Amino acid sequence: MRILILGAALALLAATVTAAQDDQTLQSPETGLTDRSGRAGPDPAPAELVIEDIRLGLKVVDTPSDGGTSLTLTWRPDPSAGELPDVPGAGLRMPLEILRRGPDETEFVNVGRATLRDGEFVDAGLEPGLGYSYRLGISGAAGQQHVSPASAPVVPVGNAFRLHRLNALVAVLLMGGFVVAFIMAARRGADLYIRRISGLDALDEAVGRATEMGRKILYVPGIISVNEPQTLASLGILGYVAKLTARYGTELEVPNIDPLTMAAAREIVKQSYMEAGAPEAFNEDMVHYITQDQFAYAAAVNGIMVRDKPAANFLIGWFAAESLLLSETGQSIGAIQIAGTAQVTQLPFFVSACDYTMLGEELFAASAYLSKDPLILGSIKGQDMMKAAILIAIVVGVVMATLGVNGFVDWFAAV
């Protein structure tokens, strides 16, 4: 009987020890990490599954100038001997797992990856006001996981202003100040000079040529919607061209790739015809929609060019690969072509295929140039002053960088 009782007690003790070991295998209370290998059966030694042997000096701080939704982790990207476990793939490109434990969580979970040489990781999408702890992890052989000691919980805090964008704010205020100052000067009657822009001077010539030849004018306002400043600038020029066509009784066609642009263009052309005293000459088919597909649009506009042979083509706005398709087709039918875009990659095509090309800022100056409105002229002068300020900043930056003083250049680099 004693032997039986002793045997039962030993069996119970053995079962208890085994159960305790099983628990430790699944979750190490010391590290808070779980074995995610999913293996069943006899447990390996629990202490070997999660090893706290990464010593990269992990620091967790609140990310500055954010809305309180992120924390920034930093570590030494150039560890000394013994600060990293001896695992395969050790080196600067070694992948590190970012392990996070939230406020009401008992376990660390993988929330991202970085490499050793990154030295930094920003964990975004956090809840402001709650504390988060972190570890760095490296997966070793046979399901082992090496981790760094857990950081103390850090709370992300919201900031009122993105301080690193102070440079942009200064630029915006400076530009706004210049524009407002020159608009006020223009209101007081100051004489503001604007240089000749041959592409805009040629608008009257092109409309006159089409009128004499009795052929239509084709106006293409680019391929982007009205949220693009180039499209808005193009619509301003369209208004001027439409007034001329209304005055001379010349046919105008404006094919559109974007329905919103079409709606705005239609209103502008209608308004121009009314202002020119020829509302009866306007019809809605003058400004029409074709398709939103870039090359289908280019094919349709090329078709209009080849069939109707317009005397003048205006290609003004935001263009991409279709710029050359359109301008070369226009060239082949002998139309006078005036182009304008701020797309640097498309300018060479327009320059080689068109008679006149408005380069970059000339396009945006068109409304001031054509309307002679002192308010708009004032804004152009303000823009010129800002350009002068940027030129001065470039010269100062070059001199300071040459002298080895990088603070000035660095201030402009961060946005």
Partner 1 sequence: MKKQIPILLAVIASLCPVIAFFLPQRWINDWMNQRLDEWMVIIASFALLLGIVSMVQTNIHKIRRRARGWGFSIVILISFVIMTSFGLFGGQGAREDGSLYPFTWVFQYAFSPLQSTMFSLLAFYVASASYRAFRVRNVEATLLLIGALIIMFGRIPLGKLIHPLVPQVAEWIMQFPNTAAQRGIIIGAALGAAAMSIRVMVGIERPYMGKS
- Please list every residue from 265 through 284 that binds partner 1, using CB under 8 A: 266-268, 270-272, 284
Is residue 158 involved in binding partner 1 (CB under 8 A)?
yes
Which residue, 24 or 271, has its beta carbon nearer to partner 1? 271
Is residue 386 involved in binding partner 1 (CB under 8 A)?
yes
Other beta carbons within 10 angstroms of residue 102's beta carbon come to: 17
Which residue, 26 or 394, has its beta carbon nearer to partner 1? 394
Of the CA atoms within 13 Å of residue 148, those in its CB half-sphere come to: 28
* Cα–Cα distance list, 363 to 98, 225, 235, 340, 359 (Å): 50, 17, 11, 6, 7
* Cα–Cα distance list, 75 to 69, 116, 145, 173, 272 (Å): 21, 8, 18, 38, 64
Shortest CB 134 distance to partner 1, Å: 22
Single out the residue of 272, 254, 271 nearest to residue 262, CA to CA: 254
How many residues interact with partner 1 (rule CB under 8 A)? 92
Q: Which of 225, 248, 397, 400 binds partner 1 (CB under 8 A)?
A: 225
Site for partner 1 in 83-122 (CB under 8 A): none
- Please answer whether residues 211 and 203 qualify as being in contact, where contact means their C-beta atoms are separated by less than 8 angstroms: no
Shortest CB 364 distance to partner 1, Å: 3
Q: Which of 155, 185, 213, 226 binds partner 1 (CB under 8 A)?
A: 226
Is residue 167 involved in binding partner 1 (CB under 8 A)?
no
Q: Which of 7, 57, 67, 149 binds partner 1 (CB under 8 A)?
A: 67
Is residue 246 involved in binding partner 1 (CB under 8 A)?
no
Q: Which of 161, 195, 334, 403 binds partner 1 (CB under 8 A)?
A: 161
Site for partner 1 in 325-384 (CB under 8 A): 325, 327-328, 331, 342, 344, 347-349, 351-353, 359-361, 363-365, 367, 371, 373, 375-376, 379-380, 382-383
Backbone angles phi, psi at 127, to 5 degrees: -90, 125
Single out the residue of 210, 221, 72, 209 nearest to residue 134, CA to CA: 72
Which residue, 27 or 271, has its beta carbon nearer to partner 1? 271
Amino acid at 296: A
- Please answer whether residues 57 and 99 qualify as being in contact, where contact means their C-beta atoms are separated by less than 8 angstroms: no
